[in-house]
Structure 1
């Protein structure tokens, strides 16, 4: 099968893993993880090399110091630990589906994850293992978007795939504005000029400077992931 992108970095938000229950929201929905595992398994079978960066917003966000009284840096470390919980949940779901994985953490925790070592991560990818990166960049004041951009550049990924609940980038929030129209393709410069929040500015600038394309697409639609990697018109391409 011809793939347009051979090595990809898939960026998922923590919120993407949330499910609804009778009591409101569950931080982890096992059925969503199972669906992601099925999609990623298809991708690996097609010959793609897959790395994943996951956020932690379904468990904890470290940004609201004024509300919580928790110092920003301290809160950010708490958020990094939340991403490791999500990464472990993904790893468990993927391995149940028969996908070989390796979990690497930017914060050392030898009992549950390998430390992040760039060359080792690349070797795992070459051997057909899915590499899940936990704990963001390992530094406070940086988001998991920035971690995604940084890791993608380090492992020489062909593209960043940002899986969201929306099927691309729109002129406005399509969930709030019914007149919003979708971009099929857009340049980095246009995104900045129109103040379109694709990623946070640090992450976005890293991609722009390193000429790393970003595709924003609906991850929750089964089969979309494979279509994107084959080069079909799904989501919005930023380049």
Structure 2
């Protein structure tokens, strides 16, 4: 064998070509990019899940806070929102009822009623004791004239609190009107339509409870059968 002949072990390996190095780099970058995208997608998924749970929890907390304005928390030990059930009524349609229970016994109910005011629908949350006495009324949403008819908001006026303690038993049916119509409730100067709609909603709530007494006194499971 010639002294200048290289054995296989001594053969010089040619360095990778520019094309090979480029391909290797592209493959590496592609894998890296895919891994990064997967991590970002996973992070977004987890973030969205956490955000959704936080939003849901906050929404329920907000709804409970509003509910407690008409249903004092000392009256019940359940979660009226979790125990809610729907009652079909001939006049009001589908009404979602929030039952308040103490030691398993129904003590009150709350539900929403809507009527048309001057600027559009006025949505109310109304709570009634099992005996039919008004525990509280709050306006959830409206489009009434600011500074004139927005006195239906408890933050603007105590007018809405005039319903507290009233019932069909202690207030004759003919009195469930604004004073301009011959009833006992004050109207607002230059804005009669708005309080008239609120009085109508409260009366409808009381009458709904009478019509649906059997259903409202049932448990959530019984009401859904």
TM-score normalised by structure 2 residue count:
0.27
TM-score normalised by structure 1 residue count:
0.26
Higher relative CO (CA 8 A, sep ≥ 6), structure 1 or 2? 1
Greater Cα radius of gyration, structure 1 or 2? 2
